[in-house]
Structure 1
């Protein structure tokens, strides 16, 4: 019973320290988002410029990036393309807050989700939670795939070793059959000579 409750506590604690990088040019809007997300247990880091955001993303492991579309659309899309272009961050969840005219471009650039501004905070929080849950499942699948790849590699090595042992056993059999044939020939020649 104690173990189950400690696992539940560990899961709750892990959930409480998820990190969100909120990027945008309107500091007031970002501060409000950060404060409200902080009250839900997220650790929020703010980024003002595309350059700063990309440096933060590459230097630190965030769970999600939230890009406020008030960053000039080209900057938001540039950030998104850079995030998607890196192997380390290709699967990092990214949500865009923006105008209706940038939705298609945001999805085309690789956004996981998009909300029209002004977005209701409860909808934003639900979308963040859904994105993080999906990202968690993707990470779990990646770990399972790596474990499966390791098992396949181990089996391939075992199969290679078994094939080598079988080849050695066959070679020994051929050698022994040859030796037996020689002995039979020698016995036959001794019988005929006697």
Structure 2
């Protein structure tokens, strides 16, 4: 509300607030600061993405891309690396696999490079056999290195085996689609060529 002032002659004047004390000025100032801050943050992301190499891909580069065993894939601040892949025959005494199938074993390392604790789960990965996607849920009697599920604090990593089943002649991929609560971005790793 404007303040009324009377001078010595009896004239009444209205004293207005300076513009910097009005609410519209501060709302506009906050909007400008947010816009400037957003554009500065966007340029940092672009600089970070340009540092990626052909062996290391950033989150925006990986959607629906295929990598190879040994490549490091960075996705949303997390690094994934399929260290090795092999087939192992089933124990003939306790055969649990379909006829002609062997265990398809991908050894993977997950490293949390973000500032937040992240969750991992073997069900975030699928074994892709010519479009037939199955879970890595096979259990081998000779293994105690299965990747299960858990949480990784910043800087922590976990290494474990993802085990499925397939024929050694099949061309296989490991597919990562994240958990069911995330967007459908994904990447694949050729397991055998």
Scaled by the length of structure 1, what TM-score is found? 0.25
Give the structure with higher Rg (CA).
1
Bigger relative contact order, structure 1 or 2 (CA pairs below 8 A, ≥6 apart): 2
- Tell me the TM-score normalized by structure 2: 0.25
More strand by share: 2
Which has a greater percent of helix? 1
